Amino acid sequence: MSLSEYRRKRSFDKTREPEPGKAAPRGHRALFVVQLHHASRRHYDFRLQVGDALKSWAVPKGPSYDPKVKRMAVEVEDHPLDYAGFEGEIPKGEYGGGHVAQFDHGVWSTEGDAEAQLAKGHLRFELFGDKLKGGWHLVRSGKPARQPQWLLFKDNDAFAGALEADDLLADVTSAPAADRKRAGTGKTHKKRLTTVAPKARKRRVDWAKRALALAGARKAGAPSGPFAPQLAKLGESPPQGDAWVHEIKWDGYRILATVNKGVVRLWSRNALEWTDKVPEIRDAVAALGLESAALDGELIAGKGTKQDFNLLQSTLSGERHGALTYALFDLLHLDGVDVSEAPLLERKQLLQSLLEDSPRQLAYSSHVEGEGAKAFEMAGEQHFEGIISKRADRAYHGGRSDDWRKTKQLASDEFAVVGYTAPKGSRTGFGSLLLARPDAEHGWRFAGRVGTGFTDARLREISALIGKAGSKTPSVHIPEMDTDLRSATWFKPRFVVEVFYRGMGGQQLLRQPSLKAVREDKQVSDLKDSDRGTSTGPQKKAARRSARSKKAAKEMPSLSSPTKVLFVDDGITKQDVWNYYTAIMDYILPEIVGRPLSVIRCPVGTAKACFFQKHHTAGMEIVDTVRLKEESGSQGDYLVVREAAGLMELVQFNTLEFHPWGSHAESPDRADRVVFDLDPGPGVPFSEVKKAATDIRSKLKQLKLESFLRVSGGKGLHVVVPLRPGCDWELTKRFAKGFAEALAETEPDRFLSKATKSLRNKRIFVDYLRNGRGATAVASYSLRARPGAPVAMPISWTELSKLQRADTFTLKTVPAKLKRRRKDPWEGIDTLKQNLSRWARKPSGR
């Protein structure tokens, strides 16, 4: 449901409930809230943040900690996020009139897509509140009802027990007597009346005794605050020999945990407190039952691979609901004993024992002894960033030393942002960021600029960090000033970003940099404490990193079930489909790379049900994702192909068709193509479809718009209008709709602008609905899941007259045709400069 239903039911001049319309707050975790509501009947309102709203259920008896007790939860209208803080009286006579009290609040997570789980009817999730903790389930009932009914029940985990929500009311604001009399008072068990939920069960172990058995261990006071973390130096290759152990280099945020008198606090590597940012990690460490401790590890999401770093960032910002894990790799203090001087292997053995039967949020970071090259290779195969190699016999010391070394799979590094260039075309805020790195002679040296890898949200975030600071005077040493830099805006090193790059060019400037992340966990001063060695020249180092990066490039996935028949009537197998996409890879990639993507998958072939998929699914490890909001307001992790390996992974998952957005993932709000899909109704000969395409081309030319042609692989043709620079979707959709309606109005016997099937007889439906945010059209060179394995094929306008059918090109004929083809019929489509701005006020072109 949308917030319009919430608005419809309320008079905001009579109730203090928050009115929707305010911008959703950013930068906090996805929240949950439970409110005790004395309306006409007493109930608990259970709310989970999904996107920019609170999904809401009314639970008459409240949540139960007993996994056997399943409570009815009636789905109600979505509420605005501000409602999480609401408490007080709703006036009598108004919708929901009665007293609302805060019962519990906190953050929540789930493994997988929350919206997809809700759509399927079973959401598995975890709550991290003061009263409600651990795993829970919401399962939709199959019973017919005016409002959807669900069952809310507890997972059988360490927090399960006999408590009811009514047993946890000791600190909840009481409703007025009149409300209690009217709505009821619940069934509190006075013997169990409390304010907090039970704690998870703990093991009773004399950890101090075990710690004192380590070499070099000594009794010491509990840590009073954050400690200096040990840091690794960047190496060219893993160190060899049995003196070293090798761990995964997790792609996350370094977190230091301290426990003092049982109180857990979490810190970033720069001593910024993170305790309240990740309450599930705080509670998990607390569940170990320690009096004092100092732990070192990495906060990760998913598996902690390179691909999971975006999940971590978007979870911490509240955009997603990922489950977080604290991957622990070192232990410095345990229940009054300092073990930092003990050998690393002894510390890790004690740490591993400590983490046995620990909460899910804590993980032991294992290692490989010796065999550094093999460990590095394995890390690359599993898509990790690299490895950290450590001397097995050494103590723990803060700062950077040769005792810890890191070897990265990808060439990436951190730089200070020292300025920006002006935006061009459709981009707002800035064009590119100017980067610098520490330099012994000049203080800071210009390292190049990064202008790719930015989502719209990231552009806004970085623009806010930049503010209005700057001047035209460079703030760093520039070996050679080029023309663009003379008009750039400069300021002193301001914040840190991490970028991927492919080596260093002349003047030690980055080659092909792309933004990886804004490193909010690091400060500019951290770059001064550089891990970059000085024994090898920077250009040689960069070249080696570049070679290593190429070596570690994503490999093609393997093909399973190659003999499975996907096109039954034609005997075309999965191997045939694999071979087709391999053969035409250079043609299809430019059509889909970097664009949000929907695909049609046929797990058992085209003879049975295929399905449309736009979100990432379990098991996909190579294809990328991007978090986007559709025109409908829903959000999800959309598939994005970045390279051949990602496309072929989708083929391995039985994908036959590829349908990209008309925009790129980095600029999803800017359309760069308009597609008119000419769909003939019954009784329309193909010759009429061809004539319609030609006529539409002529009308577009009158509007100074060039167009390109594609056979759909079905019954019709696509007329494609490139936009460079792009246009916002509102204008694009308005233009496409107006153009289609104008055709239908001027020639109603030929054209139809409405999708109604009953009206299509002997007319061509001009489908303009491909031109909305989140809408897709089939990609050029994509197969179609239809008999004969036809292909959506771009053709030149001169080829149209000889064309007999829209499905004439097939899997078997296209590879050979492409080998013979001398010229790309769509040559210039990505460089042609034209847009719709001049028709912003007259979208139909009439």
Reported as a single tens digit per residue, the pLDDT across 297-337 is 999 998 998 778 888 888 888 878 889 999 999 999 999 99
Instruction: Indicate if the pLDDT at residue 543 is higher than 50.
Output: no
Pairing state between β 31-38 and 42-50: antiparallel
Instruction: Give 483's pLDDT tier (boundaries 50, 70, 90).
Output: low
Instruction: Give 428's pLDDT tier (boundaries 50, 70, 90).
Output: confident
| Apex 210 CA angle, 207 and 215, nearest 5 | 135
- Give me Rg for the CA atoms of the chain: 30
pLDDT value, residue 362: 95
pLDDT value, residue 220: 94
| DSSP secondary structure letters along 737-751 | HHHHHHHHHH-TTTE
Instruction: Indicate if the pLDDT at residue 353 is higher than 80.
Output: yes
Distance (Å, whole) CA 280 – CA 285:
9
Question: Domains (ranges, CATH) in the chain?
Answer: 3-192 (no CATH), 207-408 (3.30.470.30), 412-551 (2.40.50.140), 565-660 (no CATH), 670-774+787-838 (3.90.920.10)
pLDDT value, residue 191: 60
Structure tokens of 209? Answer: 């005794």
Phi and psi, residue 808, nearest 5° = -75, -25
Least confident range of 401-415, 690-704, 795-809: 401-415
Instruction: Indicate if the pLDDT at residue 26 is higher than 60.
Output: no
* Residue where the block lists tokens 């663009």: 484
| DSSP secondary structure letters along 84-99 | GG--EEEPTTSTT-EE
Least confident range of 67-71, 203-207, 289-293, 402-406: 203-207
Structure tokens of 578? Answer: 């694999």
Share of the chain above pLDDT 90, in %: 58
* Residue where the block lists tokens 């070897």: 407
pLDDT value, residue 144: 74
Helix H or strand E segment including 646? helix 644-652
Is-catalytic flag, 249? yes
Helix H or strand E segment including 363? strand 362-364
Distance (Å, whole) CA 197 – CA 26:
29
633 CB neighbour count, 10 Å cutoff = 12
Q: Catalytic residue among 61, 131, 249, 737, which?
A: 249
Better pLDDT: 610 or 530: 610
Please tell me what DSSP assigns to residue 776: B
Instruction: Indicate if the pLDDT at residue 205 is higher than 80.
Output: yes
pLDDT value, residue 638: 87
Better pLDDT: 531 or 217: 217
Stretch 39-61: mean pLDDT? 93
Instruction: Give 818's pLDDT tier (boundaries 50, 70, 90).
Output: very high
Distance (Å, whole) CA 786 – CA 807:
9
Instruction: Give 826's pLDDT tier (boundaries 50, 70, 90).
Output: very high
pLDDT value, residue 541: 37
Stretch 576-597: mean pLDDT? 94
pLDDT value, residue 192: 63
Closest CA to 57 of 156, 138, 169: 138
* Residue where the block lists tokens 């494609």: 720
Helix H or strand E segment including 34? strand 31-38
Better pLDDT: 99 or 412: 99
CA distances from 2 to 20, 21, 147, 576, 633 (A): 11, 12, 15, 45, 9
Pairing state between β 230-234 and 399-408: parallel
Stretch 236-249: mean pLDDT? 91
pLDDT value, residue 450: 93
Per DSSP (E only), the strands in 585-743 are 596-601, 611-613, 624-629, 635-640, 655-660, 670-680, 708-711, 717-728
Distance (Å, whole) CA 42 – CA 185:
7
Instruction: Give 770's pLDDT tier (boundaries 50, 70, 90).
Output: confident
Pairing state between β 793-795 and 514-518: unpaired
The model's pTM is 0.57
Instruction: Give 552's pLDDT tier (boundaries 50, 70, 90).
Output: very low
Instruction: Indicate if the pLDDT at residue 125 is higher than 70.
Output: yes
Stretch 277-290: mean pLDDT? 93
Reported as a single tens digit per residue, the pLDDT across 440-468 is 788 899 999 999 888 877 888 898 888 88
Structure tokens of 331? Answer: 């232990």
| DSSP secondary structure letters along 663-676 | SBTTBTTEEEEEEE
Stretch 597-625: mean pLDDT? 83
- Give the chain's mean pLDDT: 87
pLDDT value, residue 688: 96
pLDDT value, residue 700: 95
Structure tokens of 714? Answer: 């079905």
| DSSP secondary structure letters along 236-276 | SS---STTEEEEE--SSEEEEEEEETTEEEEEETTS-B-TT
pLDDT value, residue 24: 54
Distance (Å, whole) CA 557 – CA 101:
54
310 CB neighbour count, 10 Å cutoff = 23
Stretch 801-829: mean pLDDT? 94
pLDDT value, residue 158: 86
| Apex 40 CA angle, 37 and 42, nearest 5 | 40
Stretch 539-560: mean pLDDT? 50
Return the amino acid letter for 6. Y
Distance (Å, whole) CA 806 – CA 712:
6
Closest CA to 61 of 48, 46, 72: 72
Stretch 199-215: mean pLDDT? 83
| DSSP secondary structure letters along 135-159 | EEEEEE--S--SS-EEEEEE-SSTT
Instruction: Indicate if the pLDDT at residue 617 is higher than 80.
Output: no
Instruction: Indicate if the pLDDT at residue 546 is higher than 50.
Output: no
Better pLDDT: 535 or 489: 489
End-to-end CA separation in angstroms for the chain: 38
Instruction: Indicate if the pLDDT at residue 756 is higher than 90.
Output: no
